Amino acid sequence: MNKELKVGVAVFVIKEGKFIMLLRKGSHGAGSWSLPGGHPEFGESFETTARREVKEETNLEIKNVRFGAVTNDFFEEEGKHYITIWMISEWESGQLVLTEPEKCLDQKWHSFENLPSPLFATWKQLYTSEFLDTVKEKVSKIYN
């Protein structure tokens, strides 16, 4: 089993009261829904990672990128351990495009009230974390 700890960045991109979710394809979390995101590159801030990954995965530009939460995610079946940094941002421009069909099967806008299923495992940690209410509050402020 790989005993390496990795960092992942997940990004809420808020537009018109909803956030974009991707249906994952590939080895890690295939068939589950998650936010756009990925791994920081060496020397990259979480904000820069968020902007880069959202652009690469969705073709969208984002603004007002800020910290939302952090979770400690252990994927026992896959032998992976991640620290997930949840960022919150707002849509700035661009049309949603499926830019990485080898990694993503679908993209749709959702809200906390209509989350798709199944969710990527990191959501389980977010839903049991002390940060959930804070994230929902920050996201709802953008809605209004």
Domain with 86, as residue range(s), is 5-143
Look at residue 143 in the predicted model and tell me its pLDDT.
56
What CA–CA distance (Å, rounded) separates 35 from 25? 13
**pTM score, whole prediction:** 0.92
Amino acid letter, residue 24: R
pLDDT (tens place) for every residue of the chain, 144 residues total: 567 899 999 999 999 889 999 999 976 889 999 999 999 999 999 999 999 999 999 999 999 999 999 999 988 878 889 999 999 999 999 999 999 989 999 999 999 899 999 999 899 889 888 888 888 887 777 754
CATH number at residue 45: 3.90.79.10
Residues 103, 24 contacting (CB under 8 angstroms): yes
Look at residue 125 in the predicted model and tell me its pLDDT.
87
Residues 87, 12 contacting (CB under 8 angstroms): yes
Q: Which residues contact 102 (CB under 8 A, 6 or more apart)?
A: 25, 26
Domain count, the chain: 1
Q: Give kind and range of the element (H or E) at residue 126.
A: helix 122-128
Could you write out the DSSP letters of every residue in 61-76?
A: EEEEEEEEEEEEEEET
Look at residue 119 in the predicted model and tell me its pLDDT.
94
Look at residue 2 in the predicted model and tell me its pLDDT.
60
For residue 21, the cross-strand partners are 108
15: nearest Cα among 115, 95, 92, 114 = 92
Q: How many C-beta neighbours within 10 Å does residue 120 have?
A: 24
3-class DSSP assignment, residue 45: coil
